[in-house]
Chains A and B, each alone.
Chain A
Amino acid sequence: EPEVTQTPSHQVTQMGQEVILRCVPISNHLYFYWYRQILGQKVEFLVSFYNNEISEKSEIFDDQFSVERPDGSNFTLKIRSTKLEDSAMYFCASSGLAGVGEQFFGPGTRLTVL
């Protein structure tokens, strides 16, 4: 069964460093998403991506964040200069349909900013 994969599973970084989180969505899906969950809080939407551009982003997704689909398979989230409060579990998801389409989630990357 096809699945969404994410690498690395755990990333530790120093405050101020850049990190890139990688995702491989399901191959025939067209819509891609990033979410995060800070420990003890709700899952939060960051950004959705379709047709090689951002279709929607939340207030969290400021200029420090960017997304890219550099080739036909990878979908990346870059945080330019990490802050302590960026420590969270980051989930990638993909779907074949917008809105009413089931989203398929990856296993997440735990980002720890020291």
Chain B
Amino acid sequence: ILNVEQSPQSLHVQEGDSTNFTCSFPSSNFYALHWYRWETAKSPEALFVMTLNGDEKKKGRISATLNTKEGYSYLYIKGSQPEDSATYLCAFLNNAGNMLTFGGGTRLMVKP
């Protein structure tokens, strides 16, 4: 059983704060790490798919880094806005196939 953990489980920040959270995953048989943003009552939306150790990806104010050797990825949000409030999910893919294993998510709430 693959273990993918995210921390913290939830986070309250003020508008304008920068924040980050962690996804940890098995360091063996790594193939890809997916990040999704999931707003309440909407579909999960892909943010990044990361494959290489040391990868850094950026989309607007959101960026992510990847360390496959130690088995973690960080997601950063710079200058949080209320519309960033959502659950952020990571999902690990090992090289055995197509099965994404999800973490439990970090629920971010940004107060105006």
Contacts and interface: CB of A to CB of B under 8 A. Distances in A.
Contacts of A99: 31-32, 93, 98
Given A42-B103, A99-B32, A108-B43, A56 B98 contact: yes
Contact of A55 (B36, B44, B91, B97): B97
Interface size class of B (residues with CB under 8 A): 20 to 34
A105 B44 contact: yes
A31 B51 CA distance: 19
A35 B59 CA distance: 26
A89 to B, nearest CB: 11
B49 A102 contact: yes
Interface size class of A (residues with CB under 8 A): 20 to 34
Interface in B53-112: 89, 91, 93, 97-105
A106 B100 CA distance: 16
B109 to A, nearest CB: 18
Interface in A70-114: 91, 98-108
A99 B99 CA distance: 8
Given A56-B97, A99-B93, A104 B46 contact: yes
Nearest to B45: A105
A102 B37 CA distance: 12
Contact of B98 (A48, A102, A106, A107): A48
Given A102-B34, A105-B43, A105-B44, A42 B104 contact: yes
Residue from A58, A101, A102, A104 whose CB has the most chain B CB atoms within 10 Å: A102
A14 to B, nearest CB: 27
Given A42-B105, A102-B46, 15 more contacts: A4-B43, A33-B98, A33-B100, A45-B100, A45-B102, A48-B97, A91-B43, A91-B44, A98-B98, A99-B31, A100-B32, A102-B34, A105-B43, A105-B44, A108-B43
Interface of B: 31-32, 34, 36, 41-46, 49, 51, 89, 91, 93, 97-105
